[in-house]
Amino acid sequence: MTTNQSIKPLTAAVNSLGHLEIGGCDTVELAKKYGTPLYVLDKFTIESICREYKTAFKAYPKIRMMYASKALCTIATTQLIAKEGFGFDVVSGGELFTVYKAGVDMSKVLFNGNNKSFDELSLAIDLNTGRISADNFTELEMLNEIARSKNKTVKILLRITPGIECHTHEYIQTGHLDSKFGFDLTQIDNAVELILKNYKNLELTGLHAHIGSQIFETQIYFDEVEILVKEIARLREKFALNLDEINLGGGLGVKYTNADNPPSVNEIAAVIITALENAIQKYRIDPPVVYIEPGRSIISTSGVTLYTVGSSKQVPRGTKYIAVDGGMADNPRPSMYRAEYSAQIANKANFSENLQTVTIAGRFCESGDILIKNIQLPNPEKGDILCVFNTGAYNFSMSSNYNRVQKSCMVLVNNSQSDIIVYRETLEDLISRDVILDGLA
């Protein structure tokens, strides 16, 4: 079993008070000390999964792990993951700036995205970002122009759409043919020709693909490796071009509920390594450098969100709603993707009696702001601390200020110690960028 197959952080336990503890910290105390909603990240769980990835891919020394920052990007988590030897996939000037400020070796950073702006690309070049994944013809031209004006040569990968369908939510599928991301297979030659003939400030080092997210199938990674290696071999024949890098993207799933059965990191690694060995032999190429960009599987399991239970409503002969003090602004995934989560009452962690089937409602002004439907909890009541598991990925990073509610605080826990890594927004923060116009006050 690897960490992505656990619903709860690896250090989750019940202490002598019957409270849920994480990283040796009583979560009820954390809620009291820092307020709720509160994102809690367990350092041990993050380190464990990073190490599992490294061990699983040991048999392929030319592997390069790049954490996909979009899952969660803060200075502290970046530094923690960098310490484990990972590089970083970034998709905006904001993520780029964060990893730079975190002190990351910029040669280990890859800049992705389907519509990077002039300013973002300029910043990436100024910061000597290791690779830029060029997504389309418009970008190739702009990137070459910026690089030329700075008298620099930029190493790029070509993002391609391999035409692989995976069984995940339509909105998080990216490798299928009708996708906004990357070059279609039929456009690659044209792009390569332009790079070789016209774009003298671009150096093409390899190909990049990403098939989707929250993936439970292993075979599609086999297919992806095959397609990328085949393309590299074909380009070698056609253009005498020796590309020696492929980037497989991210995608490994995690276990949000008992119904989820993601493969282990070891299973994914074994499939990828076998696929590489096969393809290398079949297409007679030297073993390429292989990047992988896991996001969710690195950070999701380490994170939980603590909420305080407030009001409740029993619909006559219908649903019992229990409302918490957060919701779709700190976790938009249930309303966006119908994502499901598991939860526990932190102050009743070993209660198994008085179970009631309830629906956890958020506090935001939309009927769709429901965090969990029909969950069994022990007599939930006002003041209880509800812990929702597996919220480390795509919660904070997709959070908003909807209803003008302050964004939540985030703490890192380890060895019974807790440290704030992102402050809770204040009411003053909320209005700090508002401009007061003359004559309106």
By annotation, the residues acting in catalysis are: 365
Would you count residue 293 as binding ligand LLP (CB under 6 A)?
Answer: yes
**Segment interacting with ligand LLP, rule: CB under 6 A, options 65-73, 76-84, 138-146, 184-192:** 65-73
Would you count residue 74 as binding ligand LLP (CB under 6 A)?
Answer: no
Q: Interior CA angle at 389 toward 384 and 395, to 5°?
A: 105
The residue ranges of DSSP E strands in 271-319, in sequence order, are 289-292, 303-314
The CB-of-220 to ligand LLP minimum distance in angstroms stands at 13
CA distance 147 to 156: 12
> Interface mask (CB under 6 A) for ligand LLP, residues 328-347, using x and -?
-----x---x----------
CB atoms within 10 A of CB 415: 10
**Segment interacting with ligand LLP, rule: CB under 6 A, options 272-280, 281-289, 291-299, 416-424:** 291-299
CA distance 439 to 437: 6
Which is nearer to ligand LLP, 171 or 423 (by Cβ)? 171
Cα 156 to Cα 161, 234, 312: the distances in Å are 16, 18, 54
Would you count residue 249 as binding ligand LLP (CB under 6 A)?
Answer: yes
Q: Which residue(s) pair with 411 in the sheet?
A: 40, 420
Name the strand (E) or helix (H) holding 246.
Answer: strand 245-247
> Interface mask (CB under 6 A) for ligand LLP, residues 117-156, using x and -?
----------------------------------------
The CB-of-178 to ligand LLP minimum distance in angstroms stands at 16
User: How is residue 57 annotated by DSSP?
Assistant: T
**Segment interacting with ligand LLP, rule: CB under 6 A, options 238-246, 259-267, 293-301, 350-358:** 293-301
Q: What is the 3-state secondary structure (H, E, C) of 181-218?
A: CCEEHHHHHHHHHHHHHCCCCEEEEEEECCCECCECCC
Would you count residue 214 as binding ligand LLP (CB under 6 A)?
Answer: yes
Of 394, 396, 410, 418, the residue at the interface with ligand LLP (CB under 6 A) is 394
CA distance 214 to 338: 13
Q: Output the six-digit token pair for 95.
A: 């993520």
The CB-of-23 to ligand LLP minimum distance in angstroms stands at 23
The CB-of-113 to ligand LLP minimum distance in angstroms stands at 8
CB atoms within 10 A of CB 194: 15
Which is nearer to ligand LLP, 83 or 180 (by Cβ)? 180
Would you count residue 255 as binding ligand LLP (CB under 6 A)?
Answer: no
The CB-of-28 to ligand LLP minimum distance in angstroms stands at 28
Of 71, 104, 271, 375, the residue at the interface with ligand LLP (CB under 6 A) is 71
Residue position matching structure tokens 């929702």: 388
According to DSSP H, which parts of 18-89 are helical? 27-34, 43-56, 75-83
CA distance 146 to 134: 13
Of 9, 87, 93, 251, the residue at the interface with ligand LLP (CB under 6 A) is 251
Which is nearer to ligand LLP, 11 or 395 (by Cβ)? 395
Would you count residue 390 as binding ligand LLP (CB under 6 A)?
Answer: no
The CB-of-122 to ligand LLP minimum distance in angstroms stands at 21
Residue position matching structure tokens 């400020």: 101
Whether 102 and 125 have beta carbons less than 8 Å apart is answered as: no
The CB-of-301 to ligand LLP minimum distance in angstroms stands at 12
The residue ranges of DSSP E strands in 11-148, in sequence order, are 13-14, 20-22, 25-26, 38-42, 63-68, 87-90, 109-111, 131-134
Which is nearer to ligand LLP, 19 or 333 (by Cβ)? 333
Which is nearer to ligand LLP, 48 or 112 (by Cβ)? 112
Residue position matching structure tokens 């282990």: 264
* Span 184-213, contacts to ligand LLP by CB under 6 A: 210, 213
Binding residues (CB under 6 A) for ligand LLP: these are 68, 70-71, 89, 112, 172, 174, 210, 213-214, 249-252, 293-297, 333, 337, 394, 398
